[in-house]
Structure 1
Amino acid sequence: MNSNLIIHCGERRLEGAQLRENADRAATGFASLGLQPGDAVAVMLRNDLPYLELMLALGRLGVHLVAVNWHFQAEEAGFILRDSGAKAFVVHADLWPNVADAVPPGLQVLVVPTPVEIEALYGARDTVPALPPGSLSWAPWRDGFEPATAPPVPSVGSMLYTSGTTGRPKAVMRLPGTPRQHEGSLRIRAMASQARAGMRTAVVGPLYHAGPNAAARVALELAEEIVVLPRFDAEQLLCTIERHRITHLSMVPVMLVRLLKLPEALRRAHDVSSLENVTHGGSPCAPEVRRAIIDWWGPIVNETYGSTEAGLVTFVTAAQWLERPGTAGRPFPGTSIRILDDEGRELPPNAVGEIYVNTGDNALPFTYRHNEAQRRAIERDGYITNGDVGHLDAEGYLYVTDRKRDMVISGGVNIYPAEIEHALVANPEVADCAVFGVPDSEYGEAVAAAVVRAPGSRITEAEVREWLRARVAGYKVPRLVEFHDALPREGMGKVFKNRLRAPHWERAGRSI
């Protein structure tokens, strides 16, 4: 950690040395709860200083930080708390009532008071009714321990939940790995963000997501100034860049879209000349957006491609992208890519197939918690796939031409249709349903639902949304609901979702 590090969060200012001391005290506290390397602590916080403390504290113990999306409803959060085997749960005070009923009995709960800037933004109230016996208040509990002095255990980072066709998310759990893999993982993350010692950066996305989480970990190692924003706001970010002379940012494309939608006069009024590097990833970026942001900020806007499992895979600079529009770049040194057909045969340049990746020593090994069979199923000869489809050109540049078959990527967020379908089909007024992605000019994709009404039902689009809003996070609720007499299904019952998606993508002039 940079000895001169300063962290800003709302009106609060914390020196790096104090952050480190807080984290070391928390590490002692977690050790007193009996946590061992390989154990897990679930964290359901908005962007706040304790999140950074937890990253450092759990990292030095070799304990997994289980990142829980704070939008989750009780059932969604409860599944992760149970599945992860978390030994403790750290939660913002205002979020507690939403999930209290789903917290496993006996789980140690630590409550973080909701900061004033979050109260203002979200209308949150720092009141916690019916806390369980034995719950603890974060700062007094943390400060009741002496700072840890034992040598740190190699960090296993965050346990992030992803999903597939089952409708239930699965945990991508990093394994301890080798010193070389730890060094390689940090090196690749730093390369992706073009990070340097003494940089000044802002955390602009939620820390429960892989991208902001990884960027924050790099910043804690190298930055001299970190501004933690409670949520993304385009104008606020411009003010932050100008006020703090921000040099490095990690973003997702929807943020670039919102910046570009600001009035021209407002955009030009802010000085962004301090920016040295902006890296975006997490979802496809429309070419017109990429060109416009490069025109505004200069040839400093780079892009990465990767996955929760593989980590960062490719990198492309602005100059390379302008020469090869649409490319996701070339693999990082030490990473290799194969394009395979359905029989596992390697395809030549420009032939489209499934993308398989071997990151070598550039990432820690992983498994799916409770699902080693599925982990084995995605690997061929040491290369893993997340189901994405694309091709390599003759110079080794990757082009991603399709994505996971059902997953919707909206604003950089992975949304898994099966989970929404399971919630929707439970409605007695719904006979059948399918959820899929349609093009969206701001988010890249939006969630759509095709619904077959039950006999005699007159369920409306608004009622479909109301039903789902009570059962899944708000961002998973479909923005488009269509009603059909029947869904196109094959003999074995699989829905031909391409037939549902195709008209929307064709109207938008884009391929699926």
Structure 2
Amino acid sequence: MYPGAHLDTPDKPAVIMADTGVVTTFAQLESQSVRIARTLRTRGVRAGAHVAVLATNTARVFDIYWAAMRSGVYLTMVNWHLTPGDIAYIVNDCGASTLIVDAALGDVATTLVPSIPEVGVRLSFGGTVNGYDDLDAAAARESDTPPDDQPRGADMLYSSGTTGRPKGIKPALPARQIRDAGDTMIEMNRTIWHVSAETVYLSPAPLYHAAPLRTCAAVQALGGTVVVMSRFDAQKALEYIERHRVTYSQWVPTVFVRMLTLPAAVRDRYDVSSLAVAVHAAAPCPVEVKHQMIDWWGPILSEYYSSTELNGLTLVDTPQRLAKPGTVGTPVLGVAHICDESGAELPPGTIGTIYFERDELPFEYHNDPEKTRAAIHPDHPTWTTTGDVGYLDDDGYLFLTDRGTFLIISGGVNIYPQEIENATITHPDVLDAAVIGEPDPDLGEAVVAVIQPVTPVDEIDTEQLAEAITDHLRTQVAGFKLPRRIEFTDRLPRTPTGKLVKRELAHQRPDR
């Protein structure tokens, strides 16, 4: 299914921008996405090509998304908070022949041009950007009659790898037309969370992330309305739920915490009774936070565990989670297996690497066959893992216990320490560096850097050095990756072969 299937209600809102109230109807979404699809064809973009998009939270994202989906191309949304170097890396690595940018990001878009020589088609919307053609003007010249041949495209989103460099997660392109059913995310939303034409979905998260993008698209495909926040604000989220009579929403635990810290009088001011389903994922939710949300919103919380790779998915509803605190549920996509380092399957209650079994290999890492091979079980070619660690209980419920790559999840965002460590070590006063996560009541985890300076700790001004290191990192990594705190030590724990023992480092710290 797709938005054009709902033209029997042409004036129904497909998208409402929450902060401005601007509406995109299903008729407009259909017309605009067809025009953009034709613009891409006019410029030589064919099925199987890659289109990258750099955009803020704007309704135009969906025009472009559905244009890509009806053109048989891969769509890569790029996190605009990244450094220009990281953005250019993703655009180049995905093999984009086309880059579409939001004029609101015109400065960074202009700086990218010399770094993306293979991108032959550069388009901007919402204004003029140097080095880019005007997408709005080009699309206006095209017909909005859908072509007969509309092969289904797919997203190819990026998730950081063990080296800290982002890696594209590439699915196979569907062998069907945009009009045909069969999309996994659409079917899961329809059958699990009962999404329909009556659904009003609130999206408070950045649209370059997998879950918001895919869920918004699924709601539109099923005829529902998407309400998009340009950025998250705890009180405004409650206001929008009341104003738009939101029935379905998706969150990360961090925003639960921020809503719960609002004064009771503020929380009680808003009617959230329209909510039928509140989904959360991306990071483990503290038991107490979850209980407070259930007390406030009722037994409507639905938690899932998955990944951008979408190799599997588990689900747990409120009664199940209350009965089994800490579980992320039972599989609804794929079959879960827990295996040891050799690949042998482990019995219930035993901790090991989490694999999901599917009928066929669900993805590959773009330009990284070695990482793809590492994600596949040594004996079962359709069992894959993202490196997470946990166990199944006797009833088949999955519990997460660790992350095999020391991934930090801060505010629902994946942060890989090695990138920050590599940047930190280039500071002339740093001899060694380790980056770890620590529990944080607001973000879930906060980034902490532990530094071994060149000069012994008791001989330096640690506050001054911490400021200098932070200033240095601002030129190297995105702002959300900056350490919340920097500590100093005269020795970091390493093995004789030089491997950093992060578990030992964490256990040595008195606040862990």
Q: Same fold (TM over 0.5)?
A: yes
Partner residue in 2 for 1:93: 103
After superposition, the C-alpha distances for 1:78-135 in whole angstroms (9 at most, x for unaligned) are 1111111111212222323235333313633222237xxxxxxxxxxxx85xx12xx2
SS in 1 for 2:288: helix
Quick check: 1:447–1:476 contact (8 Å CA) kept in 2?
Answer: yes
- Tell me how far 1:194 sits from its aligned partner: 3.8
Match of residue 117, structure 2, among 84, 102, 105? 105
TM-score by length of 2: 0.91
In 2, the alpha carbon distance for the partners of 1:149 and 1:482 equals 60
Residue 356 in structure 1 maps to residue 355 in structure 2: yes
Partner residue in 1 for 2:376: 379
SS in 2 for 1:279: strand
Same amino acid, percent of matched pairs: 36
Quick check: 1:171–1:368 contact (8 Å CA) kept in 2?
Answer: yes
Quick check: 2:436–2:449 contact (8 Å CA) kept in 1?
Answer: yes
Quick check: 2:390–2:398 contact (8 Å CA) kept in 1?
Answer: yes
After superposition, the C-alpha distances for 1:367-410 in whole angstroms (9 at most, x for unaligned) are 11111222122111021111111111111110111123321111
In 1, the alpha carbon distance for the partners of 2:455 and 2:487 equals 17
Residue 64 in structure 1 maps to residue 74 in structure 2: yes
- Tell me how far 1:224 sits from its aligned partner: 3.4
After superposition, the C-alpha distances for 1:2-29 in whole angstroms (9 at most, x for unaligned) are 3433021223122111111000000001
Partner residue in 2 for 1:496: 501
Rate the CA distance shift 1:181–1:455 in 2: closer, same or farther, 3 A.
farther
- Tell me how far 1:286 sits from its aligned partner: 0.5
In 2, the alpha carbon distance for the partners of 1:213 and 1:259 equals 23
SS in 2 for 1:232: coil
SS in 1 for 2:156: strand
After superposition, the C-alpha distances for 1:140-172 in whole angstroms (9 at most, x for unaligned) are 12212112413321221x211112222211111
Partner residue in 2 for 1:507: 511
Question: Aligned-pair RMSD on alpha carbons?
Answer: 2.1
Quick check: 1:313–1:359 contact (8 Å CA) kept in 2?
Answer: no
SS in 2 for 1:365: coil
Rate the CA distance shift 1:261–1:290 in 2: closer, same or farther, 3 A.
same
SS in 1 for 2:391: strand
- Tell me how far 1:203 sits from its aligned partner: 1.7
Rate the CA distance shift 1:394–1:385 in 2: closer, same or farther, 3 A.
same
Quick check: 1:435–1:448 contact (8 Å CA) kept in 2?
Answer: yes
Rate the CA distance shift 1:189–1:418 in 2: closer, same or farther, 3 A.
farther
- Tell me how far 1:417 sits from its aligned partner: 1.0
Number of matched pairs? 487
SS in 1 for 2:268: helix
In 2, the alpha carbon distance for the partners of 1:367 and 1:214 equals 19
Q: How does 1:47-86 map to 2 (within 5 A)?
A: 47-86=57-96
Moved more, 144-153 or 285-294: 144-153
Partner residue in 1 for 2:299: 299
Rate the CA distance shift 1:75–1:491 in 2: closer, same or farther, 3 A.
same
- Tell me how far 1:189 sits from its aligned partner: 4.0
Quick check: 1:204–1:232 contact (8 Å CA) kept in 2?
Answer: yes
Partner residue in 2 for 1:335: 334
Query: Where do 5+ consecutive residues of structure 1 fail to align?
Result: 115-126
Rate the CA distance shift 1:196–1:405 in 2: closer, same or farther, 3 A.
same
- Tell me how far 1:274 sits from its aligned partner: 0.5
Q: How does 1:229-268 map to 2 (within 5 A)?
A: 229-268=229-268
TM-score by length of 1: 0.91
Query: Where do 5+ consecutive residues of structure 2 fail to align?
Result: none
Residue 21 in structure 1 maps to residue 31 in structure 2: yes
Quick check: 1:200–1:223 contact (8 Å CA) kept in 2?
Answer: no
After superposition, the C-alpha distances for 1:165-186 in whole angstroms (9 at most, x for unaligned) are 2221111111124669944443
Partner residue in 2 for 1:44: 54
- Tell me how far 1:192 sits from its aligned partner: 4.9
User: What is the one-letter code of the residue matched to 1:323?
Assistant: A
Runs of 4+ in 1 over 4 A off after TM superposition: 177-181, 455-459
Quick check: 2:433–2:451 contact (8 Å CA) kept in 1?
Answer: yes
Quick check: 2:453–2:488 contact (8 Å CA) kept in 1?
Answer: yes
